Chain A
């Protein structure tokens, strides 16, 4: 047994390194299926954050979950990365140790791998997306099952236990939630052979990469929209829990380590044995050619992306400084509010996901004042959080003597403002008050 501690030291190396610029961003969700004996797909990249970005925005643009982007960038504030900050994109994956067929879900890494059966004349691919999984106490079950049905615009019949849970939180749910923007199932759902468990979309996309469900699997709305037509009923679903993955690419063995789920942490935290077992299982006859120093360093940092552990592999610092940089357009994509809630389909899902709604101040409208700060960081943090709630709440900040006011809105009337006031107070635990229409100078 060895004791590990969080180590973010390597992250600084790519901050200082000179990096190669790539031409344009690309969604890293579909890869050619590597031949047997090769297990690593994709590549690590770096993107420079823009002023308006949060790590959640960047994660969604590059098909990553909250856990992946934050674990790979432990020194970056998720809400205020800052313009020009290099952000590591962990868009390289070791395929889970499972048959490469149907759907494979790795709940430890919070990622789905779908191996569609190739059509005649087509090459085999693997499609991968980040997922949200069951929270502690409602863990997503591990095992093998199948897709037994699928449904567009699902209606959610809320189990009594969940109704009771929501009532305790002050957010009571009706027994049946109709399809629409307030439906937590989103627009598409696959029913699994495990009774009561679904793979579905979400009306809280910022929760992808978090433990947020009652055992169901969540996908970004744009991801499940794409998969809905692709995945046929009857496809096998393998649900596994593999925080440590080892696999080959070009004669080099890679190791990818993730934080174990909370309920597994007591057994796995600080225990090298499971990591060594995974490496031995993957290395076979070449187990003597392992750089164990790299193994220990990678396991300690647990960044959630593959790094080489074969003898003679470059030093980790060297890898981090040589990563290619994605050259993004400087202007942010249009706000989410311009995309109708039910328009997700194959035509619009290839566009980078927009940040949450950006509001424009209108003195004639109703607002909810969510904060009053001198510190601009706090202003940006709260504004960003409101814009990333589910469903997102439009938010802006206005100048006032001695500071800034964070406003949620605009809302058409007092009732609408009041319902959002309650929602903000319940979800973020902050005091708010209704701000009736008046003239205020806008800052941004």
Chain B
């Protein structure tokens, strides 16, 4: 649209200056120029709107990406914590098993000693 406006401007100027041009021609050319100008303005406005939307979309996308990154980071941390908790739980379970085994051994030893003590 802008290129067309630039192309029409020299024609309007040359016709306006030429003595042979009629008033009707000049008006016609002026109307064409003004329409072109309006069209160019409308196109500019649409372009601006599109640019604005693009910027908004970009911003939204950036925010989404940022949020996704944060979420991924949080998930990694949660996973890490879960792994640590699992490891702690495994260790606790292992210690409980060991304690239970020792308690059983202790009970068995005491029971064995008791039965031995029953000997004459």
Contact = CB atoms under 8 A, between A and B. Distances in A.
Contacts of B110: 381-382, 385, 428-430
Given A381-B107, A429-B109, A214 B120 contact: yes
B22 to A, nearest CB: 116
A428 B117 contact: yes
Interface stretch (A21-29, A205-213, A285-293): A205-213
A184 interface: yes
A81 to B, nearest CB: 14
B17 interface: no
B118 to A, nearest CB: 3
A98 B114 CA distance: 34
B3 interface: no
A45 interface: no
B114 A428 contact: yes
B118 A428 contact: no
A206 B114 CA distance: 10
B30 to A, nearest CB: 104
Contacts of A213: 119-120
Contacts of A214: 120
Contact of B114 (A135, A184, A378, A388): A388
A192 to B, nearest CB: 16
A427 interface: yes
Interface string B90-120: 0000000000000100010111011111111
Interface string A418-433: 0000000001111000
A330 B13 CA distance: 124
Contacts of A382: 110
A204 interface: yes
Interface string B33-54: 0000000000000000000000
A216 interface: yes
A216 B120 contact: yes
Tell me which of B109, B110, B116, B117 has the highest count of chain A C-beta atoms within 10 A of its own C-beta: B117
A375 B102 CA distance: 14
Contacts of B115: 207, 210
B109 A390 contact: no
A430 B113 CA distance: 10
Size class of the B contact interface (CB-based, 8 Å): 10 to 19
Given A381-B110, A428-B110, A429-B109, A389 B120 contact: no
A204 B118 contact: yes
A430 B114 CA distance: 11
Contacts of A184: 120
A73 B101 CA distance: 22
Contacts of B117: 204, 389-390, 427-428
Nearest to B118: A207
Contacts of A135: 119
A132 to B, nearest CB: 8
B119 A385 contact: no
A207 B117 CA distance: 9
Contacts of A385: 110, 114
Interface in A95-117: none
Contacts of A79: 111
A79 B113 CA distance: 14
Contacts of A218: 120
A428 B120 contact: no
Contacts of A429: 109-110, 113
Contacts of B120: 162, 184, 202, 204, 207, 212-214, 216, 218
For the complex of A and B, the 6 pairs showing the least CB-CB separation, nearest first, are A207-B118, A427-B117, A184-B120, A212-B119, A429-B113, A212-B118
Given A210-B118, A390-B117, 7 more contacts: A78-B111, A206-B118, A375-B103, A381-B110, A388-B114, A390-B118, A427-B117
Interface of B: 103, 107, 109-111, 113-120
24 contacts: A78-B111, A79-B111, A132-B118, A135-B119, A162-B120, A202-B120, A204-B118, A204-B120, A207-B120, A212-B119, A212-B120, A213-B120, A214-B120, A216-B120, A375-B103, A381-B107, A389-B114, A389-B117, A390-B117, A390-B118, A427-B113, A427-B117, A428-B110, A429-B109
